[in-house]
Chains A and B, each alone.
Chain A
Amino acid sequence: DQQVKQNSPSLSVQEGRISILNCDYTNSMFDYFLWYKKYPAEGPTFLISISSIKDKNEDGRFTVFLNKSAKHLSLHIVPSQPGDSAVYFCAASAMEQGGSEKLVFGKGMKLTVNP
């Protein structure tokens, strides 16, 4: 049972254009969402996050949008650069008993930005 879904396995865009990465979730208790980027042979690195009390968070070229009613979030990269080529993971968490949170990851999506 996949609680976090990244339905497109890959995306290819031209340098300078917008990249839009989508993520859907099923657990309405999720209240914190993150995007991680992963290069080959490296661990995932944090990119940007958003709390469920917001619908948008922006950090430089990266913006995450959250639509709680649709249980959908998206990551926009503008403008896209060749160095953005990586696998992007969407992750979500919910508060559990004891105050801890457990991150649930999607399968990832490979972004290729062509020069």
Chain B
Amino acid sequence: EAGVAQSPRYKIIEKRQSVAFWCNPISGHATLYWYQQILGQGPKLLIQFQNNGVVDDSQLPKDRFSAERLKGVDSTLKIQPAKLEDSAVYLCASSLGLAKNIQYFGAGTRLSVL
């Protein structure tokens, strides 16, 4: 069974530029998550989708971050414009359902903002 796919693996941009990350969850997984992991910290949830609807985006900095999952499968996370403090690993995860479900993570995209 294929795991969660993310691209790109690495991205280096200058501050105030835009960047987008892509995620393809495990087939059949209805719930998709985007996490931000800053160096030395645990992953922090940014946004959670159930199919193509947003369940929780309370920790998403909406002035610069946006995410969509238009067809309920793939998802993109965008940062516009990027700040230095956005340097982190962005992890995508998916699970079968909303509660008491194991989340399966992709390898992540490491973003460096210079």
Interface size on B, residues (CB 8 A): 23
Contacts of B104 in A (CB 8 A): 45-46
Bound Cα distance from A59 to B100, whole angstroms: 18
Number of A-B pairs, beta carbon distance below 8 Å: 57
Q: Is A29 an interface residue (CB 8 A)?
A: no
Residue of A nearest to B33 (CB): A103
Cβ-defined partner of B41 (8 Å) among A91, A99, A107: A107
Q: Is A1 an interface residue (CB 8 A)?
A: no
Residues on B facing A (Cβ under 8 Å): 4, 40-45, 48, 50, 55-56, 91, 93, 98-100, 102-108
Distance of B110 from chain A, by nearest CB (Å): 9
Distance of A36 from chain B, by nearest CB (Å): 8
Residues on A facing B (Cβ under 8 Å): 4, 32, 34, 36, 41-46, 49, 51, 89, 91, 95-96, 98-108
Across the interface, do A46 and B103 meet the contact criterion of CB distance under 8 Å? yes
Cβ-defined partner of A100 (8 Å) among B4, B99, B102, B105: B99
Residue of A nearest to B6 (CB): A43
Asked if A108 meets B99 with Cβ closer than 8 Å, knowing A43-B106, A102-B56, the reply is no
Bound Cα distance from A64 to B26, whole angstroms: 27
Cβ-defined partner of B56 (8 Å) among A42, A46, A96, A106: A96
Distance of A80 from chain B, by nearest CB (Å): 22
Across the interface, do A105 and B99 meet the contact criterion of CB distance under 8 Å? no
Contacts of B91 in A (CB 8 A): 43-44
Across the interface, do B42 and A89 meet the contact criterion of CB distance under 8 Å? yes
Across the interface, do A43 and B105 meet the contact criterion of CB distance under 8 Å? yes
Across the interface, do B106 and A100 meet the contact criterion of CB distance under 8 Å? no
Across the interface, do B102 and A46 meet the contact criterion of CB distance under 8 Å? yes
